[in-house]
């Protein structure tokens, strides 16, 4: 699923940035990929995906 139409960024790319680069917010995400600086419509959704990925990961770690 595309999160940022302007730059063609998918939810998978954001997830992997969180997992591999430890991205925790939009500012950090923008340091590893370009998104959100065109129309800005994707910013809220991108932040949501960051939050959800962090939550999923910490749940997974507790179980594992
Ligand atoms: S959809 Fe991301 S900047 Fe426009």
Q: Which domains does the chain have, with CATH numbers?
A: 2-63 (1.10.10.1100)
pTM for the full predicted model? 0.89
| Residue 9 CB–ligand 1 contact under 6 Å | no
Confidence band of 43 (pLDDT split at 50, 70, 90): very high
Q: What is the pLDDT of residue 58?
A: 82
By most ligand atoms within 8 Å of CB, the mutation choice from 10, 13, 40, 44 for ligand 1 is: 40
For 1-61, the DSSP string reads -EEETTTTEEHHHHHHHHHHH---SHHHHHHHS--SSSS-TTHHHHHHHHHHHHHHHHHHH
By most ligand atoms within 8 Å of CB, the mutation choice from 1, 42, 47, 49 for ligand 1 is: 42
pLDDT (tens digit, 9 = 90+) per residue, 27-40?
Answer: 999 999 999 999 99
Q: Distance (Å, rounded) from C-alpha 14 to C-alpha 59? A: 19
């Amino acid at each position: 699923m595309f999160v940022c139409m302007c730059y063609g960024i998918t939810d998978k790319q954001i997830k992997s940035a969180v997992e591999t680069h430890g991205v925790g917010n939009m500012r950090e995400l923008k340091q590893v990929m370009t998104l959100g600086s065109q129309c800005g419509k994707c910013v809220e959704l991108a932040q949501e995906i960051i939050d959800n990925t962090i939550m999923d990961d910490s749940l997974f770690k507790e179980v594992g």
